[in-house]
Chains A and B, each alone.
Chain A
Amino acid sequence: MRKAKLLRGASQSTSYALLLATSAVVLLPFYWMVLSSVKTNHQLFTTPVQWWVWPLHLSNYSRALSLIPFWRQLGNTVMLSALTVIGTVLSGSVVAYGLAKVDWPGRKPLFWLLIVTMLLPGVVTLVPTYVIFRDLGWINTYLPLIIPAFVGSPYYVFLFRQFFLRIPESLSEAARIDGASELHIYARIIMPVSRPVIASVGVLAFVQAWTEYLGPLIYLNQPAQWTLSLGLTAFLTKYSVEWNLMMAAAVVFTLPLIVVFFVGNKYFVKGISFITDVG
């Protein structure tokens, strides 16, 4: 018995040591990013490396933000992300309602179509979609980036569907007997009890929109329209040796997502648990 206890203690401390080590490895690049962002150019390129500097060279931040139209691009990114979240939640829940809560013959085959489109790679549609949007005159507008969110991206429809299936049928059945329309049941009964999945889809879609690169790269050609993803790469090509400025810009770009993560932490994990439930 004592031996078992000792063994368990040993394996516990081994796990602990391993956890601390891996966490350190994961966190070090973050520290490196912040540290570099407050160094002078001279401090960046000295050996041995300075692991701490004082005073902090905070003026890097104001300089970095003034070198690109930062506030403009931040505004664009916020606007695009917000519209994407609204579109994704609206369309995702509406479509999922039709797939999970309405009993009609199309329900099953369309679910399979959903699964198929989920797995279809973007590599085939990338170029022709560009041609289509170009023919519509949508290049250098935000439409090609926003419209897809409003027609229901399969992955988020799927998450909503998984959640809706778990809501007891008796809830909507009772309303139906009272003569409520489907639209009413969707808006007044299903959506109010679906806050967890709305939050999960919301944060996941927000992160995706905030970090999106290829779409803006293809469709937006004017710096005034750019998102921060594009602004940051433009920065790289112009001021590449000034790593302190680059890191300052990267910190500012990353910070909102870290905040979202700490606020919505449990919703990320929930969003993922909807996937594992399928297995």
Chain B
Amino acid sequence: MWGLAFVSPWLIGTGGLVLYPMALSLYYSFTNYDIVSSYQFVGLANYGGLLRDPQFRQALGNTFYLVVVMVPLSLVVALGYALLLNVPVYGQRVFRTVLYLPQMVPTVASAILWMWVLNPQFGLVNTILGWFHILGPLWLNSISWSKPSIVLLNVWGIGGAAIIFLAGLQGISPMLVDAAKVDGAGLWRRFRHVTLPALSPLILFNAVMGVLGAMQYFTQAFIMGGGESGGSSVGLGNSLQFAVVYLYEVAFGDLRVGYASAMGWVLFMMMLVVIAVLLRVSARWVFYEGWRKQ
């Protein structure tokens, strides 16, 4: 009975703040609930409405851009960075500290900082591009460059994922690497056949976390989408209207709780599908020490 007593706060929390809200959300998704007036059942109307909602479609497109572009790019950069930080050089501790610093900038502060860093005329990035006689893009003030701006900001804050890879790299037995060396494996083959398999569970972990984060991307987009005028929060030509940004507007701007709940469930299902595909594909290349999948 002691066990139950110890876990009871969390059980109550899970019931009240996870399971009950989920059930409630499913229920609302079949109604036209709007907080203020009484509501009716509308069947699948909300879900049907989502299918025909051009704004939702655009928000999904923007979100999938993050999943397809930002997540893989972040993984590659984080892995490269971790490899670099694993080379035994003097002062490596300092470099590792630097890597993690961007994580310490509050989300809101980093969004505002990057709006200024990416200022087309007086910003840091375009100033440096100017040294190489490159005319920098308009970044957040351009429909085609606003999403790359978001990607750039996130690659800057790559520390969390990189440090997970670094921990994994440090866990690889030096004997394994030496054995590969003795067998005459070069740098690339050692990376391909020793490092990558050893890291594969962590690559999967970071990929899943990355997808979950990308599909629920909100704060930076919400702030940066407002632009310097702080007006609309969806970026130029809705280019920064991501799924959760739209959900926020529908729920808390228009108070269309029923519609927003349906949207939440559709997004949830999409996440499950993406993660399932990821797990399915990964079964072929993820290598767990000690056992192999038949």
Contact = CB atoms under 8 A, between A and B. Distances in A.
Contact of B12 (A120, A151, A157, A236): A151
Interface stretch (A53-61, A63-71, A102-110, A193-201): A102-110
Interface stretch (B17-25, B46-54, B64-72, B135-143): B17-25
Contacts of B148: none
Given A15-B87, A131-B24, A123 B98 contact: no
Interface string B102-144: 1111111100111011010110100100000000000000000
B261 A128 contact: yes
Nearest to B123: A32
A22 to B, nearest CB: 7
A33 interface: yes
B205 A275 contact: yes
A33 B113 contact: yes
Interface in A228-264: 228-229, 232-233, 236-238, 240-241, 243, 246-247, 250, 253-254, 257-258, 260-261
A117 B14 CA distance: 8
Q: Quick one: which of A91, A113, A128, A186 has the most chain B CB within 10 A? A: A128
Contacts of B20: 128, 132
A229 B108 contact: yes
A119 B208 CA distance: 9
Contacts of A110: 7, 11
B107 A276 contact: no
A270 B102 CA distance: 18
B61 interface: no
A229 B107 contact: yes
B56 interface: no
Contacts of B10: 91, 95, 114, 151-152, 154, 157
B18 A23 contact: no
A228 B261 contact: no
Contact of B216 (A29, A121, A131, A213): A121
B271 interface: yes
A186 to B, nearest CB: 8
Contacts of B219: 213-214
Contact of B215 (A121, A250, A258): A121
A126 interface: yes
A26 B95 CA distance: 10
Contacts of A98: 2-7
Contact of A214 (B89, B104, B215, B218): B218
Secondary structure at the B interface, as helix, strand, loop or mixed, is: helix
Contact of A132 (B14, B21, B85): B21
Given A119-B212, A125-B21, A236-B226, A91 B9 contact: yes
B108 to A, nearest CB: 5
Nearest to B201: A279
Interface string A8-29: 0001100110110011001111
Interface string B53-64: 000000000000
Contacts of B267: 121, 123-124
A266 B113 CA distance: 27
Contact of A134 (B1, B35, B113, B167): B35
A124 B25 contact: yes
A194 B192 CA distance: 38
A211 B102 CA distance: 13
B156 A275 contact: no
A102 B212 contact: no
A168 interface: no
A49 B127 contact: yes
Interface string B166-186: 011001000000000000000
B28 interface: yes
Nearest to B98: A23
Interface of A: 11-12, 15-16, 18-19, 22-23, 26-30, 32-33, 36, 44-45, 47-49, 91, 94-95, 97-99, 102-104, 106-107, 110, 113-114, 117, 119-132, 134, 148, 150-152, 154, 157, 182, 186, 207, 210-211, 213-214, 218, 228-229, 232-233, 236-238, 240-241, 243, 246-247, 250, 253-254, 257-258, 260-261, 265, 268-269, 272-273, 275-276, 279
14 contacts: A12-B87, A12-B89, A28-B124, A49-B127, A123-B244, A123-B247, A125-B17, A125-B18, A126-B264, A132-B16, A229-B106, A240-B229, A250-B105, A279-B202
Question: Which are the 10 A-B pairs with shortest beta-carbon distances?
Answer: A151-B13, A98-B6, A237-B230, A104-B3, A152-B10, A279-B201, A98-B7, A211-B106, A102-B3, A128-B21
Given A98-B5, A232-B106, 11 more contacts: A15-B87, A27-B101, A29-B117, A29-B156, A104-B3, A123-B264, A131-B35, A134-B35, A151-B16, A207-B103, A211-B106
